[in-house]
Structure 1
Amino acid sequence: MNWKITAAAVGAALLASTSLASAEGELQIYNWGNYTSPEMIKKFETENNVKVTITDYDSNDTALAKIRQGGHGFDMVVPSQNYIPIWIQEGLLLESRPDEMANFKNVKEDLKNPEFDPGRHYTVPWAMGTVGIVVNTDVYKGPINTWGIIFDTPAELKGKVNVVPEMTDVIDAAVLYNGGKKCTGDLEILKKVRDTLVKAKPDWVAMEYGTIQKMGSGDFAASSDWNGSAMRQRLANPAIHYAYPKEGFVMWSDNIAILKDAKNVDNAKLFLNFMMDPENAGMNSAFHRYANGIAGSEAFMPADMKGAMEIEVPEELKSIAVPSQTCAPEVQELYTKIWTELQK
């Protein structure tokens, strides 16, 4: 953003005392890898004369730890909805009031007042999806709609299964597989979860995020995964299929926010408003292949996303979908203990 100084006599001193001095020309976004449309970013840069830099992270915990340390230099971040209350409670996000911005009218009605950010005082929708399973059906011909692919791996897939190492996703899946409820504090269920994970791990080949590339290359034949990633895999190889586990699956959203210590606040606010425009949100979805929360964006998304089973949860499966939520601190601590043991 270019700013004109009209009062030359006081310009230098005034400019140095405001956020406008540090806002000019730059925007630093900290986001999940392979999740931001280069075309959409170029459009924002051209329209606003702002240079955008994207720095990748691989998990909610990585992003949160980095920002907690301070001195990071980022302006914006894209946490998942179950982590956003933590960011807000710890004072890491700026109350930027997206609800008062011009394009807020485009946010879908059922997303204007989410539990994780009441009234949308901090966040703007980025993407939304599900956690399920991808399988290369050239390798495995059996039923794939079960977390058993991951936790009781069929013989054909042993040594060929990957687990995307997002802690909450993995433990939630194991909880559902063992008949529990998300964010359970039931110690009996959590012991079963721990045992399930430890027993299953030797059958896995990896715990990595790079599923799009490695499912495509054949390094992995199955993986826990997110639906947009799964669609990108299927478009590259029709033998790769996504499944909603019959034991239940989590529905989630990621949302972009401004950091409390951002240096380029004005440009960050411009970007929040930009992302609530249907064309821009649709352009981003065309890249990452997830739905988003902006009404009218579908008109700007590829035709192959409309009705795609990865994008639209089948009606008959909606009853087993579990909304993502923030677990109680004591439950989160138990999850972390299980996760730490799994990493050994």
Structure 2
Amino acid sequence: MKKLLMTASLAFFALTGAAQAEGKLSIYHWFEYIPQELLDKFAKEYDVEVTMDTYDSNESLLASLKAGKLGSYDVAVPGDYMVKILNNEGMLDTFEPSELSNFGNIEDQWADVSFDPGRKSSIPYQWGSTSFSVNRDVFSGPIDSLAIVFDPPEELKGKINVLDTSGETLTLASLYLGIPQCTPDKAQLKALNALVQGAKQHWASFGSDIAKDVLVSGDAAVGMIWSGFSAKARSEGANIEYAFPKEGYIVWMDNVVLLKDAPNRENALKFMNFLLEPENAAAVTNYAQYTAGVKGVAPFLEPAVANSPESNPPAGQKGVFVEACPQEVQVLYDAIWTNLKK
């Protein structure tokens, strides 16, 4: 199995007559998750030079910051559980709500969250789900179970792409087994390891940055995928259906965090405040096809995005957040993942 990484560097410069922009902003972000036009708009509005590097998983973000990148970036966009981990690692700065004039635009359900109580270090960016999509030209059977990924029918074996992220992949495997996340129970961990090791022979690839493309190209008939990526694959012509399995699926909230030792703290706060404007939050949603955590976006949404089946799960389906495990338990999951990737 080969891990495909995409690390891109993009620079956007304010189109002004000034010889030098008033300041800079350095962003560390997921790939394909913000429209260039929105970055250009911010750069022009605030006369700021914006640079952005990308990563393909929460774990890659953490590893990069630990390896010495902390202090190089002003903001990053981690998932919910990773916000808690970064905070526990001392990698986040704090701000007061009064420093963001649009703080009140945060939707009530996202204003006080367990991974950042009171929103002291983060604002909501977009939220969605993680499950899998199936090519209906290849498989017409039921897709209401995670067995499609972990114990697939014969016609799907060898045609499955799995996200290259341990948090989500092992959480979905745990849901399939019906065991708790972050379990320290040796028998349950042994069963989890056996499940993914047994399923690995049926997987064609591990790939997060290729998750959409392999479904569009037909290189994969099944893809573990984020809801917005599935919607984008459909819009690009893939005859796929996104599943909400009976065992459960992952719900997540990505967040813009203020990083410790941010070299351009004031511009970071300007950018966070900018993203809390309903029109700007909607621009991200229309591009990425997830859901904003900001009030007032509805009038700015494209109908196809607002009515996307990926964003509207059936009533009664169970969505869970990925948990941040205690360190003594996380090392056990890291061992399972490392062994799986060999």
The normalised TM-score by structure 2 is: 0.90
Distance in 1 separating the partners of 2:321 and 2:90: 25
Q: CA deviation at 1:98?
A: 4.3
**Does structure 1 retain, via aligned residues, the 8 Å contact 2:157–2:203?**
yes
Name the structure 2 match of 1:133. 132
Secondary structure of the structure 1 residue equivalent to 2:212: helix
**Does structure 2 retain, via aligned residues, the 8 Å contact 1:229–1:289?**
yes
Name the structure 2 match of 1:335. 333
1:266 correspondence with 2:271: no
After the TM superposition, which residues 170-185 of structure 1 pair with which residues of structure 2 at under 5 Å, given as runs?
170-185=169-184
Once the two structures are superposed, residues 284-335 of structure 1 have per-residue CA deviations (whole angstroms, 9 ceiling, x without a partner) of: 1111111021011122121112232211222231xx2213332222221221
**Aligned residue type for 2:65:** I
After the TM superposition, which residues 83-232 of structure 1 pair with which residues of structure 2 at under 5 Å, given as runs?
83-98=82-97, 100-209=99-208, 210-232=210-232
Secondary structure of the structure 2 residue equivalent to 1:70: helix
Name the structure 2 match of 1:298. 298
**Does structure 1 retain, via aligned residues, the 8 Å contact 2:79–2:253?**
yes
1:77 correspondence with 2:76: yes
Distance in 1 separating the partners of 2:142 and 2:328: 36
**Does structure 1 retain, via aligned residues, the 8 Å contact 2:27–2:75?**
yes
**Does structure 1 retain, via aligned residues, the 8 Å contact 2:33–2:287?**
yes
Distance in 2 separating the partners of 1:124 and 1:70: 24
| Most deviating of 106-115 and 24-33 | 24-33
Q: CA deviation at 1:33?
A: 0.7
Name the structure 2 match of 1:240. 240
The CA RMSD over aligned residues, in Å, is: 1.9
Distance in 2 separating the partners of 1:60 and 1:191: 25
Gaps of 5+ in 2: 1-13, 15-20
**Does structure 1 retain, via aligned residues, the 8 Å contact 2:167–2:322?**
no
Once the two structures are superposed, residues 183-207 of structure 1 have per-residue CA deviations (whole angstroms, 9 ceiling, x without a partner) of: 2223222211100100111111100
Name the larger-Rg structure. 1
**Aligned residue type for 1:325:** E
Structure 1 residues 100 and 26: CA distance shift in structure 2, 3 A: closer
From 50, 64, 88, the counterpart of 2:48: 50
After the TM superposition, which residues 271-286 of structure 1 pair with which residues of structure 2 at under 5 Å, given as runs?
271-286=271-286
- The structure with the largest helix share of the pair is 1
Runs of 4+ in 1 over 4 A off after TM superposition: none
Distance in 2 separating the partners of 1:127 and 1:97: 21
**Does structure 1 retain, via aligned residues, the 8 Å contact 2:216–2:238?**
no
**Aligned residue type for 1:119:** G
**Does structure 1 retain, via aligned residues, the 8 Å contact 2:211–2:224?**
no
Distance in 2 separating the partners of 1:206 and 1:193: 19
Identity of aligned residues (%): 37
Distance in 1 separating the partners of 2:252 and 2:284: 17
Secondary structure of the structure 2 residue equivalent to 1:205: strand
Distance in 2 separating the partners of 1:117 and 1:100: 17
Once the two structures are superposed, residues 16-44 of structure 1 have per-residue CA deviations (whole angstroms, 9 ceiling, x without a partner) of: xxxxxxx9421110011111111211111
The normalised TM-score by structure 1 is: 0.90
Distance in 1 separating the partners of 2:120 and 2:250: 25
Q: CA deviation at 1:156?
A: 1.0
Q: CA deviation at 1:70?
A: 2.2
Distance in 2 separating the partners of 1:332 and 1:127: 26
**Aligned residue type for 1:310:** E
